[in-house]
Chain A
Amino acid sequence: MVTFDCRAERFDGVTLVTAVVSGVAEPTRLTVANRLDGPVHPPRRQGVPEAGWTDDGFEGVVGPETCALGYATPAPAADPPAELVSADPVPGAVPSATEERLDSDAAVIRELGDPSPPADAVPMGETDASPNAEPPAAVPTDDADAATAAEPIAADPSGNPPVDRPDTAGEPLPDDVARWLDTVSRRVDRAERLADAESLDEAAEAVRAAGGLDGVETVAARGSVDERCLRAVARRAERLADRRAAATVPVDTLARLA
């Protein structure tokens, strides 16, 4: 007799759902559906969801043994968080998770690993524009198109430039400042994408764009530091701008005295 036990715990804005299916006496096709009001963030390897996970939950062959399932979702916890929709014995079937056949692209990537270079390895200012594209403008801040092309997943899907750009567009900034702002802007874009992801695909894309779960942790960890730095820079820049505006250099007077 198959029993289904399931609970949800909320940490830090994320609900973790764990389920245990016990009493599985023979290979059984399980369908477990998420009942929380939000997307399913399944377990992943190499950025690719484990076999059997879908937008709605899990469907796959398990057993014969006790089987544990778990996923995350931004939706608030509720009771029950998930439901066993069906459990149909399929005698002789091979459990999907035990020895995964490399028979799909996702399985190959999961098993062998995505060789894409990590986000931090991509040199600053290197763009991914096609060779036919116009050469990037000399001033990095004016280079909105090229910068978004370098990180297409970080760009706003509506095609709008990242929110910080209009402030600096048109006014060339010193290279080092522009580069730093671009770096932070990319992290902010990533954080926004991770926060806004609603479907499984969007979340997968956002996590991939952030460089996998390690990248997600980096984005999360850098958040408060970035915010403090940005506000400190804004305050200091504001004060300097005020002082500079107040100080009029008397060129004519000084010229007469000289």
Chain B
Amino acid sequence: MILAVTGGKGGVGKSTIAYNLAAELDALAQQSGDGRVTGARAGSVVVDGDLAMADLPAGRGPDLHDVLAGRADPVEAVRADGPVTVVPCGRTLAGARSADLRGLTDVFAALERSHRWVVVDSPAGLHADVGLPLSAADAAVLVTTPERAALADALRVRALARELDAGLCRVVLNHAGPTPATDAVADRFGAPAVAVPESDALAAAQSNGRPLSETAPDAAARRSLRDLAAAVQSCSSV
């Protein structure tokens, strides 16, 4: 299943949600013993789809820029040695320029052959690098914060997702306060909302390149992430 994690505005936590969602999907699969059922396919892989401003952990080796420039195969860019399997993206503008977006859909399809979940961490904005993952995705998770500007941008992406036939699985209300307006958000977006509370532990885990399930498994935000993963899993079985 290809899942686009998107949101419109920058800095709302798309990468953090995408990374941790992948970790929780793996954890769920492990719990239910799904690893055996899925056979040869590995669990989840997060693709850093922000070609110009990548932010997932990278390490060494070929990355998405290399794949889109025809210098490497998608499987060669998969880093399975970290706590979450990632396809990182290069950091240079020259790399972003040499990457041919028209190959993006094929990359997702290739990764889906070897992984059960392809979680695409989309960039901000409304350009083709947001549209192509949505167009390829089986479902989308929209990330926003409760701020007006973020919600407005998320609604624009919502409209684009509709046009591209990407079903909206969940809206994540990130950095939520103690009384999140999940009902109002769900009403407006036409999909259930999951609130992820403001969490220093989550921010710290992300900046260390680790999922929250490893660094602070009992944090309140962890429960939200687990709920989100369960919801995504149920979206996929529909």
Q: A109 near B98 (CB under 8 angstroms)?
A: no
A-B contact count (CB 8 A): 97
Q: A115 near B125 (CB under 8 angstroms)?
A: yes
Could you say which of A108, A116, A131, A208 has the most chain B C-beta atoms within 10 Å of its C-beta?
A108
* B172 contacts the other chain (CB 8 A): no
Cα distance A122–B97 in the bound complex, in angstroms: 8
Q: B102 near A122 (CB under 8 angstroms)?
A: no
* A132 contacts the other chain (CB 8 A): yes
Known interface pairs A105-B102, A111-B131; A128-B51 also in contact (CB < 8 Å): no
Q: How many residues of A contact B (CB 8 A)?
A: 30
Q: A128 near B65 (CB under 8 angstroms)?
A: yes
Residues of B within 8 A of A130 (CB): 61-63, 66, 71-72, 90
Q: B69 near A126 (CB under 8 angstroms)?
A: no
Q: How many residues of B contact A (CB 8 A)?
A: 39
Could you say which of A105, A106, A111, A208 has the most chain B C-beta atoms within 10 Å of its C-beta?
A105
**Least CB separation from A211: chain B residue:** B97
Q: A122 near B61 (CB under 8 angstroms)?
A: no
* B171 contacts the other chain (CB 8 A): no
Cα distance A105–B71 in the bound complex, in angstroms: 21
Cα distance A108–B160 in the bound complex, in angstroms: 10
Interface string of A123-138 (1 = CB under 8 A from B): 1001110111000000
Could you say which of A106, A109, A128 has the most chain B C-beta atoms within 10 Å of its C-beta?
A128
Residues of A within 8 A of B95 (CB): 128
Cα distance A119–B94 in the bound complex, in angstroms: 8
Residues of A within 8 A of B129 (CB): 115
Residues of A within 8 A of B164 (CB): 102, 108
Interface string of B115-150 (1 = CB under 8 A from A): 000000001011111111001000000000000000
Q: B105 near A128 (CB under 8 angstroms)?
A: no
Cα distance A99–B135 in the bound complex, in angstroms: 17
Cα distance A106–B132 in the bound complex, in angstroms: 9
**Least CB separation from A110: chain B residue:** B128
Known interface pairs A113-B128, A116-B99; A122-B123 also in contact (CB < 8 Å): no
Residues of A within 8 A of B123 (CB): 115
**Interface pick from A4-12, A34-42, A89-97, A149-157:** A149-157
Residues of B within 8 A of A18 (CB): none
**Least CB separation from B163: chain A residue:** A102
* B27 contacts the other chain (CB 8 A): no
- State the Cβ distance, B71 to closest chain A Cβ, in Å: 7
Cα distance A233–B129 in the bound complex, in angstroms: 43
Q: A117 near B96 (CB under 8 angstroms)?
A: yes
- State the Cβ distance, A179 to closest chain B Cβ, in Å: 15
Q: Which residues of B contact A (CB under 8 A)?
A: 51-52, 58, 60-63, 65-66, 69, 71-72, 90, 92-102, 104-105, 123, 125-132, 135, 160, 163-164
Can you offer 16 A-B residue contacts whose CB atoms are under 8 A?
A: A102-B164, A105-B102, A105-B104, A105-B135, A108-B128, A109-B101, A109-B128, A114-B127, A115-B128, A116-B99, A122-B93, A127-B94, A128-B98, A131-B63, A132-B60, A152-B98
Counting from the closest, the 10 A-B pairs by CB-CB distance are A115-B127, A128-B94, A109-B128, A112-B128, A108-B131, A112-B131, A150-B94, A128-B95, A122-B93, A117-B93
Q: Which residues of A contact B (CB under 8 A)?
A: 46, 102-103, 105-106, 108-109, 111-117, 119, 121-123, 126-128, 130-132, 149-153, 208
